[in-house]
Amino acid sequence: MLVDFQNEPLTDFTDPSRRAAMKEALETARRGFGREYPMRIDGRDRLSGHWIRSVDPSRPREVVGQVAAATREDAMDAIQGAWAAFAGWSRVPAQARARCLFKAAALMRRRKFFLAALMCFEVGKTWSEADADVAEAIDFLEFYGREMIRLAQPQPLVRILGEDNEVIYEPLGVGVVIPPWNFPLAILTGMTVSSVVAGNTVVLKPASASPVIAAEFVRIMEEAGIPPGVIQFLPGSGGEIGDVLVSHPQVRFITFTGSRDVGVHIFELAAKVHPGQTWLKRVIAEMGGKDAIIVDNDADPDDAAAGIVTSAFGFAGQKCSACSRVIALADVYEPLLERVKHLTERLKVAPADLEEASYGPVVDRAAYDKVLEYIEIGKREGQLVTGGGPAEGEGYFIKPTIFRDVSPGARIAQEEIFGPVVAFLKARGFDEALEIANGTPYGLTGGVYSRNRVHLERARREFHAGNLYFNRKITGALVGVHPFGGFGMSGTDSKAGGRDYLLLLTQAKVVSERF
Ligand code: NAP
Ligand code: MG
């Protein structure tokens, strides 16, 4: 008998034994630097002669690992192999598939510190961010395992006399899984194991900034008993092999999480029906955000400031859910800004593996250049309050940056920056605040700090966001508690970690027998 789903607890790093365990894990991870990781096609190692170098953004000269980069031919082989594995895997009972996920969760729990340490180095997560990433990955395994068991049980239907009716959730076939680097274990795990537990087989193409943690995930899934070929591990550049995978006529579905531009491209490409293709591809695309927190005149400015700083600068603002716009009503604008500035200036930007880091670097050179460019744009569009450029260190460190008096149409108020930059906008009333909040093509997360019940209820209905939070931070969605997905150009609102998710990866068949 399974116990009910519960979220994996976060590690308390004030406990000296936990701190010691984390430090030891960092050492272990560091000793593994420079290792080579192959692709895994049909359960076998494969090299290509080309490599993706994964570096530590806190110290870009350090190579965390090298991962084999797939060619187009490897991509073709992976799809064929996944179909070969589908025949067997799709017939494995749901309970047994789920048990592989539960075992993988146990393995991850045992390797929690090591997996977290690897993410500190590979993508620049702080201890607590990396720990939360592992916890979320475990949650996805435990949650989707239980969800599949639920869906495999007899489903409620209206009964009529003389007939036996049944609905069965069948797998779709071979899917392509394309996750981002910013939750390099959690999102990758959620996207992959949801597909697999539903009876599908997948080609997993990890993000090129985080292929080492992806390789560790694949190893864990294999140890947990996932048969060869069910998860084809195909690292490679999205620009080089992405189109081949997405447009392949034998691909049944694509699950993507990443930027808006790439998501739109995939959606368009997948819509085309190629010769020999006998289905319309399903696309789950979860994309970017321009997430806003509204602060009402009667809100507690200390409370709001703490929530804003955590939401805006956690993991250097590199969360799809990060707060990048603060829309404050006129009376609270100045006191709020002062408090946010004060808290922001106490943040310590440092190499992410150091215990004292509030946040680390941005993920790579391209992100660094892009964020700094937006900061320069911001200097023309608003007034700089604090930050405004690189922070010290050899890595891709950027000071936490605040702009004030930004207009709703400004680029820094419209475009996703994906870095530690937040824009303050002033609203004359709650109507205008909502209008500004809804005035972007996105609709991922949003927040309201208010004590006014009428305002909160209006926002409940009118704030156009897939995940809306009142009087709390807008990041840190928990599996099962806050099913996650966005509106508009933020995506297809798949609600990862919720009861509706596996339905997207299955097709319902109804069998009716007259006796
Ligand atoms: P990205 O640049 O769009 O990359 C995402 C994935 O797409 C990577 O695996 C990438 O591979 C691949 N890719 C790139 N070009 C491709 C192509 N032509 N065809 C197929 N795949 C391709 O996004 P990112 O920088 O990794 O992640 C940050 C973005 O993700 C932000 O916009 C953030 O808001 C969004 N995000 C959204 C959610 C959500 O739930 N809505 C959650 C997390 C992140 P390479 O790495 O090899 O280029
Ligand atoms: Mg890296």
pLDDT tens per residue, range 33-68: 999 999 999 999 999 999 999 999 999 999 999 999
CATH superfamily of 291-479: Aldehyde Dehydrogenase; Chain A, domain 2 (3.40.309.10)
Ligand 1 close to Cβ of residue 320 (< 6 A): yes
Question: Cβ(241)–Cβ(213) under 8 Å?
Answer: no
Q: Is 27 known to be catalytic?
A: no
Q: Among residues 286, 323, 381, 416, which one is catalytic?
A: 286
Atom of ligand 1 nearest to the CA of 265: 18
CA of 62 to the centre of ligand 2 (A): 9
CB-based burial label for 14 (10 Å; 0-12, 13-18, 19+): exposed
Which residue lies with its CA nearest to atom 14 of ligand 1? 238
Mean pLDDT of the chain: 98
The whole-number average pLDDT for the span 342-354 is 98
DSSP letters along 257-270, please? Answer: ES-HHHHHHHHHHH
Report which residue type is found at 44.
R
Mutating to test ligand 1, I would choose from 246, 262, 284 the residue with most ligand atoms within 8 A of its C-beta, which is 262
- Would you state the pLDDT for residue 1? 79
Residue 214 banded pLDDT, cuts 50, 70, 90? very high
- What pLDDT sits at residue 329? 98
Q: How many CB atoms lie within 10 A of CB 227?
A: 15
pLDDT digits (tens, 9 = 90+) for 274-317: 999 999 999 999 999 999 999 999 999 999 999 999 999 999 99
List 285's β-bridge partners, or say none: 256
Which tens digit of pLDDT belongs to each residue from 450-493?
Answer: 999 999 999 999 999 999 999 999 999 999 999 999 999 999 99
**Can you give the residue ranges of every domain in the chain?**
16-287+493-514, 291-479
pLDDT of residue 512: 98
Q: What is the value of pTM for the model shown? A: 0.98
Judged against a pLDDT cut of 90, whether residue 241 lies above it is answered with yes
Instruction: For residue range 182-204, list pLDDT tens digits in order.
Output: 999 999 999 999 999 999 999 99
Q: Which residue's CA is minimally distant from atom 22 of ligand 1?
A: 238
For the 16-287+493-514 domain, the top CATH level (class) is: alpha beta
Rounded to a whole number, what is the largest CA-CA distance in the chain? 77
Token pair of 286, please?
Answer: 């979860």
Choosing from 8, 136, 222, 320, the catalytic residue is 320
Neighbours of ion ligand 2 (CB under 5 A): 54-55, 122, 209
Between CA 127 and CA 201 the distance in angstroms is 33
pLDDT in tens, 69-128: 999 999 999 999 999 999 999 999 999 999 999 999 999 999 999 999 999 999 999 999
Nearest to 207 by CA among 48, 393, 400, 366: 366
Of 346, 306, 291, 301, nearest in space to 486 by CA:
291
For the question of residue 147 being annotated catalytic, the response is no
Q: Whose CA is nearest to atom 35 of ligand 1?
A: 258
Candidate from 257, 290, 369 with most ligand 1 atoms within 8 A of CB, to mutate = 257
**Taking a C-beta distance cutoff of 8 angstroms, is the pair 300, 449 a contact?**
yes
Count Cβ neighbours within 10 Å for each residue of 398-435 and write b for 16 or more, e otherwise: bbbbbbbebebebebbebbbbbbbbbbbbbeebebbbe
What is the rounded CA–CA span in Å between residue 59 and residue 52? 17
Say how many C-beta atoms besides its own lie within 10 A of residue 268's C-beta: 11
Q: Average of pLDDT values for 238-264?
A: 98
Are 501 and 494 within 8 A, CB to CB?
yes
Q: 259, 321, 444: which to mutate for ligand 1, most atoms within 8 A of CB?
A: 259
Q: Distance between CA atoms of 341 and 335, rounded to whole angstroms?
A: 10
Q: For residue 2, give the DSSP letter.
A: P
* 492 Cβ closer than 6 Å to some ligand 1 atom: no
Report percent pLDDT > 70 for the chain.
100
Q: Are 389 and 397 in contact (CB under 8 A)?
A: no
User: Residue 292's pLDDT is what?
Assistant: 99
Atom 11 of ligand 1 has which residue's CA nearest to it? 238
d(CA 290, CA 319) in angstroms, rounded, equals: 11
| 3-state secondary structure (DSSP) of residue 444 | coil
